[in-house]
Amino acid sequence: MQVLDGKALAQAIKEELKEEVDAIRQAAGKIPHLAAVLIGENPASQVYVRNKVSSCEEVGFRSSLIRRPESITQSELLAIVTELNEDPDVDGFIVQLPLPKHIDEDAVNLAIDPRKDVDGFTPVNIGRMTLGLDAYLPATPNGIMVMLERYGIETSGKEVVVLGRSNIVGTPMTVLLSRKSSPGNATVTLCHSRTRDLKSHTLRADIIVAAIGIPEMVTADMVKEGAVIIDVGINRVDDASRNRGYRLAGDADYAGLKHKVSAMTPVPGGVGPMTVVSLLMNTLQASKRRG
């Protein structure tokens, strides 16, 4: 089995980005600037945002972290979004999800200027992506597309089954994979919690993208010999043998699948680092557009 090493690939792409930023600096051009908004103390969100900010530093971008407590009001958060929309110094920004329950995530997303939406979550970018126009593509699905391309995994004419229909992963993944482009041109089935007989779908798949959020749910009996598994899930599973009391597990049963599939992403070190790199690529694009 080929391990689809997102960590190594992300590192290689970061080197490429760093070279480009160095060239911009030498030409006295504008250094890309990403801002991240983090609300509350969600431990996973803190890790994700920390990775994003430190990755910016690695490639020579500027980054700003705006932290606010869980008790922030909707209007206070919307005011931060407006400020970032209008700040000429900021090329792109993200509002880390999930937001506290009392905040309307859709309202916050709709307030983000699509030109600075480097997460690719706003309706304008989703719409442009769907029409095949130039857009900021959602970070995780785009990171997966880059990974498939760089690893030379053929998608044209393949049966792809996407598990999970979230707006940030599963649904845009189906759009990108079925587009008339390369990678793309796949025949895509989107499964979710109401899908009947999930296994009948996964058994047909040449490629499975699992974005469900249930640890190790995709098992060897559900997968055909030689399939490719892209495991998006990042789940904390209690593990008393670890110092921190948990381990990270994907949505796929890596140990059970590794002798059956042809290629698979590990968790951690698979899709996660590609998501961060995709965000950096969008930020560089945003910075270039603003000139």
Active site residues: 52, 96, 119
Only one of the segments 122-130, 211-219, 220-228, 241-249 lies at the binding site for ligand NDP (rule: CB under 6 A); that segment is 211-219
Q: Which of 186, 188, 232, 284 binds ligand NDP (CB under 6 A)?
A: 232
- Classified as helix, coil or strand, 27 is coil
Q: Which of 18, 30, 62, 192 binds ligand NDP (CB under 6 A)?
A: 192
Q: Cα-flanking dihedrals φ and ψ of residue 149, to 5°? A: -65, -50
The answer to whether the CB of 63 falls within 8 A of the CB of 53 is yes
Shortest Å, Cβ 84 to ligand NDP? 22
202 scored as a contact of ligand NDP (CB under 6 A)? no
Give the pairing type, strands 33-39 and 92-95.
Answer: parallel
Q: Which of 92, 252, 272, 284 binds ligand NDP (CB under 6 A)?
A: 272
| 153-182 positions binding ligand NDP, by CB under 6 A | 163-166, 168-170
Nearer to ligand NDP, 33 or 201 (CB): 201
- Classified as helix, coil or strand, 125 is helix
Size of the site for ligand NDP (CB under 6 A): 25
Residue ranges of alpha helices (H) inside 186-260 are 198-202, 254-257
Which amino acid would we find at residue 252?
A
Which amino acid would we find at residue 138?
P
138 scored as a contact of ligand NDP (CB under 6 A)? no
Shortest Å, Cβ 87 to ligand NDP? 26
273, β-bridge pairs: none
The answer to whether the CB of 124 falls within 8 A of the CB of 141 is no
Q: Which of 186, 234, 249, 286 binds ligand NDP (CB under 6 A)?
A: 234
Give the pairing type, strands 246-249 and 235-238.
Answer: antiparallel
Shortest Å, Cβ 138 to ligand NDP? 9
Residue 53 parent element (H or E): helix 43-59
CA distance 89 to 244: 39
**CA 28-137-66 angle, 5° bins:** 65
Nearer to ligand NDP, 60 or 213 (CB): 213
275 scored as a contact of ligand NDP (CB under 6 A)? yes
Shortest Å, Cβ 108 to ligand NDP? 16
Q: Which of 271, 279, 280, 284 binds ligand NDP (CB under 6 A)?
A: 271
Nearer to ligand NDP, 180 or 244 (CB): 244
Only one of the segments 100-108, 125-133, 179-187, 228-236 lies at the binding site for ligand NDP (rule: CB under 6 A); that segment is 228-236
Q: What is the DSSP letter of 31?
A: P
55 scored as a contact of ligand NDP (CB under 6 A)? no
CA distance 140 to 256: 25
CB nearest ligand NDP: which residue? 166
Q: Which of 55, 140, 202, 282 binds ligand NDP (CB under 6 A)?
A: 140
Phi-psi region of 164 (alpha: psi -120 to 50; beta: other; left: phi over 0): left
Residue with token string 């593990």: 239
Q: Which of 21, 175, 177, 212 binds ligand NDP (CB under 6 A)?
A: 212
Cα 92 to Cα 64, 102, 219, 243, 257, distances in angstroms:
11, 25, 39, 37, 39
- List contacts with ligand NDP (CB under 6 A): 140, 163-166, 168-170, 191-195, 198, 211-214, 232-235, 271-272, 275
